Structure 1
Amino acid sequence: MQKIVLNGITWGHSRGITPLLAVSQRYSELYPNVEIRWKKRTLQEFADFPIEELTKEYDLLIIDHPWVGCADATNCVLPLNEYIAADYLRDQQENSVGLSHISYNYNNKQWALAIDAATPAASYRKDLLSDVPQTWQDVIVLAKQGKVAVPAIPIDLLMNFYTFCIANGKEPFQNEEEVIDAATGILAIETMKELYSVVDKKMFSCNPIAVAELMSTTNDYYYCPFAYGYSNYARKGYAQHLLHYTDVVAFNGKKLRTTIGGTGLSVSAFSKHKEVAVDFAKMIVSGECQRTMYVQHGGQPGHRSAWIDPSANHLTNYFFTQVLPVMDNGYMRPRYNGYLHFQDHAGDPLQQCLLHDTDPQKALDAMNTIYEQSLAKQTALTA
Structure 2
Amino acid sequence: MASIILNGITWGHSRGITPLLAIGQRYSELHPEVEIRWKKRSLQEFADFPIEKLTEAYDLLIIDHPWVGCAAATHCVLPLNEYLPSDYLQDQANNSVGASYESYVYNGSLWALPIDAATPAASYRKDLLPQPPQTWDELLQLAKAGKVAVPGIPIDVLMHFYSFCISFGATPFANEYEVIDTATGVQAIECMQQLYSLVDRRMFDCNPIAVAELMSSTNDFWYCPFAYAYSNYSRAGFAKYLLHYADVVALNGKQLQTTIGGTGLSVSAFSQHKSVAVDVAKMMVDGEMQRTMYMQHGGQPGHRSAWTDATANELTNGFFNAVLPVMDNGYMRPRYNGYLHFQDHAGTPLRTCLMDNGDPAKALQLMNELYRQSIHQNSTSLSV
Q: Establish whether TM, by shorter chain, passes 0.5.
A: yes
For residues 195-274 of structure 1, what are the structure 2 equivalents within 5 Å?
A: 195-274=195-274
User: In the aligned structure 1, how far is the partner of 2:130 from the partner of 2:305?
Assistant: 31
Cα offset, 1:2, TM superposition: 6.2
The aligned residue for residue 284 of structure 1 is 284
For residues 319-334 of structure 1, what are the structure 2 equivalents within 5 Å?
A: 319-334=319-334
The aligned residue for residue 141 of structure 2 is 141
The aligned residue for residue 381 of structure 2 is none
The aligned residue for residue 53 of structure 1 is 53
User: In the aligned structure 2, how far is the partner of 1:15 from the partner of 1:376?
Assistant: 34
Cα offset, 1:131, TM superposition: 2.4
1:317 aligns to what SS in structure 2?
A: coil
User: In the aligned structure 1, how far is the partner of 2:339 from the partner of 2:357?
Assistant: 27
The aligned residue for residue 36 of structure 1 is 36
Identity of aligned residues (%): 74
For residues 70-85 of structure 1, what are the structure 2 equivalents within 5 Å?
A: 70-85=70-85
For residues 1-383 of structure 1, what are the structure 2 equivalents within 5 Å?
A: 3-377=3-377
User: In the aligned structure 2, how far is the partner of 1:226 from the partner of 1:65?
Assistant: 20
User: In the aligned structure 2, how far is the partner of 1:131 from the partner of 1:330?
Assistant: 24
Cα offset, 1:376, TM superposition: 2.1
User: In the aligned structure 1, how far is the partner of 2:367 from the partner of 2:263?
Assistant: 25
User: In the aligned structure 2, how far is the partner of 1:214 from the partner of 1:199?
Assistant: 14
Q: Match of 1:297, as an amino acid?
A: H
Runs of at least 5 residues in structure 2 that lack an aligned partner in the other structure: 379-384
2:320 aligns to what SS in structure 1?
A: helix
Structure 1's consecutive aligned runs of 4 or more residues displaced over 2 angstroms after TM superposition are: none
Q: Is the 8 A contact 2:2 2:35 kept in 1?
A: no
After superposition, the CA RMSD in angstroms is 0.8
The aligned residue for residue 381 of structure 1 is none
Q: Match of 2:218, as an amino acid?
A: T
1:346 aligns to what SS in structure 2?
A: helix
TM-score between both structures, scaled by the size of structure 1: 0.98
TM-score between both structures, scaled by the size of structure 2: 0.98
Q: Match of 2:40, as an amino acid?
A: K
Q: How many corresponding residue pairs?
A: 378
Q: Is the 8 A contact 2:136 2:250 kept in 1?
A: yes
Deviations 1:7-41 (A, max 9, x none): 00000000000000000000000000000000000
User: In the aligned structure 1, how far is the partner of 2:264 from the partner of 2:376?
Assistant: 27
Cα offset, 1:130, TM superposition: 1.6
Cα offset, 1:109, TM superposition: 0.2
Deviations 1:222-279 (A, max 9, x none): 0000000000000000000000011111111111100000000000000000000000
Q: Match of 1:209, as an amino acid?
A: I
Q: Match of 1:75, as an amino acid?
A: H
